[in-house]
Amino acid sequence: MRLDRFLANLPHCNRQEARQLLASGRVQVDGQTQRDGLSEVSQFSRVQLDDELLQAGKAARYLMLHKPVGVVSATEHPEHRTVLDLLDEPDKHQLHLAGRLDLNTSGLLLLTNDGQWSRRATAPTGQQPKVYLVHTQDEIDPACVEVFARGLYFQYENLTTRPAILELLAPRHARLTLFEGRYHQVKRMFGHFQNKVIGLHRVSMGTIQLDERLCPGQYRELSALEIASF
Ligand code: URA
Protein backbone atom coordinates (compact mmCIF):
# COMPACT_ATOMS: atom_id res chain seq x y z
CA MET A 1 0.00 0.00 0.00
CA ARG A 2 1.14 3.57 -0.63
CA LEU A 3 2.50 5.33 2.44
CA ASP A 4 0.18 8.37 2.07
CA ARG A 5 -2.85 6.02 2.00
CA PHE A 6 -1.51 4.04 4.96
CA LEU A 7 -1.31 7.30 6.98
CA ALA A 8 -4.67 8.61 5.78
CA ASN A 9 -6.27 5.33 6.99
CA LEU A 10 -5.16 6.01 10.55
CA PRO A 11 -7.84 7.23 12.94
CA HIS A 12 -7.80 11.04 13.25
CA CYS A 13 -5.71 11.52 10.11
CA ASN A 14 -7.03 12.66 6.75
CA ARG A 15 -5.22 12.94 3.44
CA GLN A 16 -4.13 16.53 3.99
CA GLU A 17 -2.75 15.75 7.45
CA ALA A 18 -0.95 12.72 6.02
CA ARG A 19 0.75 14.99 3.45
CA GLN A 20 1.77 17.42 6.20
CA LEU A 21 3.22 14.64 8.38
CA LEU A 22 5.27 13.43 5.45
CA ALA A 23 6.46 16.90 4.43
CA SER A 24 7.55 17.70 7.98
CA GLY A 25 9.76 14.59 8.07
CA ARG A 26 7.96 13.03 11.02
CA VAL A 27 7.35 9.63 9.39
CA GLN A 28 9.95 6.88 9.43
CA VAL A 29 9.83 3.61 7.50
CA ASP A 30 12.25 0.92 8.56
CA GLY A 31 14.23 3.50 10.53
CA GLN A 32 14.57 6.03 7.68
CA THR A 33 12.70 9.32 7.33
CA GLN A 34 10.34 8.95 4.41
CA ARG A 35 8.78 12.03 2.76
CA ASP A 36 7.50 10.33 -0.39
CA GLY A 37 3.83 9.47 0.01
CA LEU A 38 3.96 7.33 -3.13
CA SER A 39 6.52 4.95 -1.62
CA GLU A 40 5.22 1.49 -0.73
CA VAL A 41 4.75 0.06 2.74
CA SER A 42 3.97 -3.62 3.23
CA GLN A 43 2.97 -5.78 6.17
CA PHE A 44 6.73 -6.20 6.76
CA SER A 45 7.49 -2.45 7.06
CA ARG A 46 8.09 -0.86 10.43
CA VAL A 47 6.33 2.53 10.41
CA GLN A 48 6.81 5.23 13.03
CA LEU A 49 5.41 8.71 13.60
CA ASP A 50 7.95 10.54 15.75
CA ASP A 51 8.45 8.03 18.59
CA GLU A 52 5.06 6.38 18.17
CA LEU A 53 5.07 2.94 16.56
CA LEU A 54 2.26 2.79 14.00
CA GLN A 55 3.08 -0.67 12.65
CA ALA A 56 5.72 -3.04 14.03
CA GLY A 57 6.09 -4.90 10.74
CA LYS A 58 5.87 -8.67 10.57
CA ALA A 59 9.11 -10.61 10.20
CA ALA A 60 9.49 -11.67 6.58
CA ARG A 61 10.64 -15.28 6.24
CA TYR A 62 12.38 -16.99 3.35
CA LEU A 63 13.46 -20.63 3.38
CA MET A 64 15.03 -23.06 0.94
CA LEU A 65 14.13 -26.71 1.32
CA HIS A 66 15.69 -29.76 -0.27
CA LYS A 67 12.44 -31.44 -1.23
CA PRO A 68 12.64 -35.22 -1.17
CA VAL A 69 10.78 -37.47 -3.59
CA GLY A 70 7.41 -38.59 -2.18
CA VAL A 71 6.51 -35.35 -0.40
CA VAL A 72 3.79 -33.12 -1.83
CA SER A 73 4.42 -29.48 -2.72
CA ALA A 74 1.37 -28.29 -0.80
CA THR A 75 0.59 -27.09 2.67
CA GLU A 76 -2.14 -29.72 3.25
CA HIS A 77 -2.86 -33.10 1.69
CA PRO A 78 -5.23 -35.92 2.65
CA GLU A 79 -2.80 -38.76 1.77
CA HIS A 80 0.81 -37.66 1.52
CA ARG A 81 3.28 -35.89 3.76
CA THR A 82 3.57 -32.26 2.74
CA VAL A 83 6.64 -30.04 2.65
CA LEU A 84 5.23 -28.18 5.68
CA ASP A 85 5.45 -31.43 7.66
CA LEU A 86 9.22 -31.25 7.15
CA LEU A 87 9.53 -27.84 8.83
CA ASP A 88 10.09 -27.41 12.52
CA GLU A 89 9.20 -23.72 12.63
CA PRO A 90 6.80 -21.59 14.64
CA ASP A 91 3.83 -20.31 12.59
CA LYS A 92 4.84 -22.49 9.66
CA HIS A 93 1.25 -22.37 8.39
CA GLN A 94 1.83 -18.72 7.48
CA LEU A 95 4.34 -19.85 4.87
CA HIS A 96 3.48 -20.63 1.28
CA LEU A 97 5.39 -22.18 -1.59
CA ALA A 98 7.15 -20.07 -4.18
CA GLY A 99 6.75 -22.62 -6.96
CA ARG A 100 6.03 -26.32 -6.84
CA LEU A 101 7.66 -29.60 -7.72
CA ASP A 102 5.85 -32.82 -8.60
CA LEU A 103 5.51 -35.58 -6.01
CA ASN A 104 8.34 -37.58 -7.61
CA THR A 105 10.61 -34.55 -8.24
CA SER A 106 13.29 -33.57 -5.74
CA GLY A 107 15.39 -30.47 -5.19
CA LEU A 108 15.15 -26.77 -4.55
CA LEU A 109 11.88 -25.46 -3.17
CA LEU A 110 11.38 -21.96 -1.78
CA LEU A 111 8.96 -21.07 1.02
CA THR A 112 8.06 -17.61 2.29
CA ASN A 113 5.35 -15.49 3.90
CA ASP A 114 6.07 -12.65 1.44
CA GLY A 115 3.51 -12.82 -1.37
CA GLN A 116 5.12 -10.13 -3.51
CA TRP A 117 8.46 -11.89 -3.39
CA SER A 118 6.99 -15.27 -4.33
CA ARG A 119 5.10 -13.69 -7.24
CA ARG A 120 8.38 -12.32 -8.56
CA ALA A 121 10.12 -15.67 -8.04
CA THR A 122 7.44 -17.68 -9.83
CA ALA A 123 6.12 -15.41 -12.59
CA PRO A 124 5.72 -17.94 -15.44
CA THR A 125 7.58 -15.68 -17.85
CA GLY A 126 9.89 -14.15 -15.26
CA GLN A 127 12.87 -15.15 -17.39
CA GLN A 128 14.76 -16.36 -14.33
CA PRO A 129 16.50 -19.63 -15.21
CA LYS A 130 15.41 -22.80 -13.45
CA VAL A 131 17.90 -25.62 -13.77
CA TYR A 132 16.93 -29.32 -13.60
CA LEU A 133 18.86 -32.55 -13.74
CA VAL A 134 16.88 -35.06 -15.74
CA HIS A 135 17.11 -38.86 -15.96
CA THR A 136 15.14 -40.50 -18.72
CA GLN A 137 13.97 -44.03 -19.40
CA ASP A 138 15.37 -44.14 -22.93
CA GLU A 139 18.38 -42.53 -24.52
CA ILE A 140 17.89 -38.83 -25.17
CA ASP A 141 17.48 -38.04 -28.84
CA PRO A 142 20.14 -35.40 -29.68
CA ALA A 143 17.44 -33.65 -31.75
CA CYS A 144 15.94 -32.57 -28.41
CA VAL A 145 18.69 -29.98 -28.05
CA GLU A 146 17.59 -28.00 -31.08
CA VAL A 147 13.87 -28.55 -30.62
CA PHE A 148 13.98 -27.42 -26.98
CA ALA A 149 16.09 -24.41 -28.02
CA ARG A 150 13.48 -23.45 -30.63
CA GLY A 151 10.52 -24.03 -28.30
CA LEU A 152 7.79 -26.65 -28.26
CA TYR A 153 4.12 -26.04 -28.93
CA PHE A 154 1.88 -26.87 -25.94
CA GLN A 155 -1.61 -27.33 -27.30
CA TYR A 156 -3.42 -27.14 -23.96
CA GLU A 157 -2.10 -23.63 -23.22
CA ASN A 158 -1.82 -22.74 -26.92
CA LEU A 159 1.72 -21.45 -26.49
CA THR A 160 5.24 -22.19 -27.56
CA THR A 161 7.72 -22.74 -24.76
CA ARG A 162 10.56 -20.29 -24.39
CA PRO A 163 13.92 -21.36 -25.75
CA ALA A 164 15.45 -23.81 -23.27
CA ILE A 165 19.00 -25.07 -22.95
CA LEU A 166 19.55 -28.84 -22.94
CA GLU A 167 23.02 -30.16 -22.13
CA LEU A 168 23.53 -33.88 -22.58
CA LEU A 169 25.59 -35.32 -19.71
CA ALA A 170 25.17 -39.02 -20.50
CA PRO A 171 22.91 -41.03 -22.85
CA ARG A 172 19.99 -40.87 -20.37
CA HIS A 173 21.05 -37.89 -18.28
CA ALA A 174 20.87 -34.16 -19.03
CA ARG A 175 20.83 -30.71 -17.53
CA LEU A 176 17.88 -28.61 -18.67
CA THR A 177 17.58 -24.85 -18.13
CA LEU A 178 14.10 -23.38 -18.47
CA PHE A 179 13.19 -19.71 -18.44
CA GLU A 180 9.58 -20.21 -17.39
CA GLY A 181 7.56 -22.66 -15.34
CA ARG A 182 4.68 -24.43 -17.06
CA TYR A 183 2.71 -27.32 -15.61
CA HIS A 184 4.78 -30.55 -15.73
CA GLN A 185 6.94 -28.75 -18.25
CA VAL A 186 10.01 -30.97 -18.21
CA LYS A 187 8.02 -34.20 -18.43
CA ARG A 188 5.89 -32.82 -21.25
CA MET A 189 8.94 -31.68 -23.21
CA PHE A 190 10.53 -35.13 -23.06
CA GLY A 191 7.10 -36.68 -23.57
CA HIS A 192 7.06 -35.01 -26.98
CA PHE A 193 9.90 -37.41 -27.86
CA GLN A 194 8.08 -40.38 -26.22
CA ASN A 195 10.77 -40.46 -23.58
CA LYS A 196 9.72 -40.81 -19.95
CA VAL A 197 11.37 -38.75 -17.22
CA ILE A 198 12.23 -41.19 -14.43
CA GLY A 199 14.23 -38.80 -12.24
CA LEU A 200 13.94 -35.03 -11.93
CA HIS A 201 15.84 -32.78 -9.56
CA ARG A 202 15.83 -28.95 -9.43
CA VAL A 203 19.22 -27.47 -8.63
CA SER A 204 18.55 -23.75 -8.93
CA MET A 205 16.03 -20.96 -9.40
CA GLY A 206 17.50 -17.68 -10.65
CA THR A 207 20.81 -17.32 -8.87
CA ILE A 208 19.63 -19.33 -5.84
CA GLN A 209 21.37 -22.72 -5.83
CA LEU A 210 20.23 -25.64 -3.73
CA ASP A 211 22.70 -25.72 -0.84
CA GLU A 212 24.70 -28.93 -1.22
CA ARG A 213 24.94 -29.24 2.56
CA LEU A 214 21.18 -29.82 2.77
CA CYS A 215 20.18 -33.48 2.74
CA PRO A 216 16.73 -34.33 1.35
CA GLY A 217 14.17 -33.03 3.85
CA GLN A 218 16.49 -30.38 5.34
CA TYR A 219 16.09 -26.64 4.97
CA ARG A 220 17.72 -23.33 5.85
CA GLU A 221 17.00 -19.58 5.82
CA LEU A 222 17.91 -17.71 2.65
CA SER A 223 20.76 -15.21 2.90
CA ALA A 224 20.11 -11.48 2.34
CA LEU A 225 21.79 -11.81 -1.06
CA GLU A 226 19.57 -14.72 -2.06
CA ILE A 227 16.45 -12.84 -0.97
CA ALA A 228 17.48 -9.76 -2.92
CA SER A 229 17.99 -11.82 -6.07
CA PHE A 230 14.21 -11.85 -6.74
N1 URA B 1 8.72 -29.98 -14.66
C2 URA B 1 8.09 -31.13 -14.33
O3 URA B 1 7.65 -31.88 -15.21
N4 URA B 1 7.96 -31.44 -13.02
C5 URA B 1 8.44 -30.66 -12.01
O6 URA B 1 8.30 -31.01 -10.84
C7 URA B 1 9.10 -29.48 -12.39
C8 URA B 1 9.23 -29.15 -13.71
pLDDT tens by residue, the chain, 230 residues: 999 999 999 988 999 999 999 999 999 999 999 999 999 999 899 999 999 999 999 889 999 999 999 999 998 899 899 999 999 998 899 999 999 999 999 999 999 999 989 999 988 766 889 999 999 999 999 999 999 999 999 999 999 999 999 999 999 999 999 999 889 999 999 999 999 999 999 999 999 999 999 999 999 999 999 999 99
Determine whether the shortest distance from the Cβ of 102 to ligand 1 is under 6 A: yes
Query: How open is the CA angle 66-102-185, to the nearest 5 degrees?
Result: 115
Point out which residues pair with 219 in neighbouring strands.
Answer: 65
Taking the CA atoms of 119, 134, 191 and 146 in sequence, report the sign of the dihedral they define: positive
Determine whether the shortest distance from the Cβ of 73 to ligand 1 is under 6 A: no
Q: Are the beta carbons of 36 and 19 closer than 8 angstroms?
A: no
Q: Give me the pLDDT at residue 91, please.
A: 87
Which atom from ligand 1 is nearest to the alpha carbon of 101? 6
Nearest-CA residue for ligand 1 atom 3 is: 184
Q: Cα of 3 to ligand 1 centre, how many Å?
A: 40
Q: Give me the pLDDT at residue 23, please.
A: 96
Q: Give me the pLDDT at residue 126, please.
A: 66
Determine whether the shortest distance from the Cβ of 47 to ligand 1 is under 6 A: no
Q: Give me the pLDDT at residue 181, please.
A: 87
Q: Which residues are catalytic?
A: 102
Determine whether the shortest distance from the Cβ of 185 to ligand 1 is under 6 A: yes
Q: Cα of 227 to ligand 1 centre, how many Å?
A: 23
Nearest-CA residue for ligand 1 atom 4 is: 184
Task: Please choose, from the candidates 65, 130, 116, the residue with its C-alpha nearest in 3D space to the C-alpha of residue 92.
Answer: 65
Determine whether the shortest distance from the Cβ of 184 to ligand 1 is under 6 A: yes
Q: What is the pTM of this model?
A: 0.85
Long-range contacts of 205-210 (CB under 8 A, 24+ apart): 205/99, 205/108, 205/110, 205/121, 205/128, 205/129, 205/130, 206/121, 206/128, 206/129, 206/230, 208/64, 208/108, 208/110, 209/108, 210/64, 210/66, 210/107, 210/108
Determine whether the shortest distance from the Cβ of 180 to ligand 1 is under 6 A: no
| Ligand 1 site-directed mutation target among 133, 200, 205, most atoms within 8 Å of CB | 200
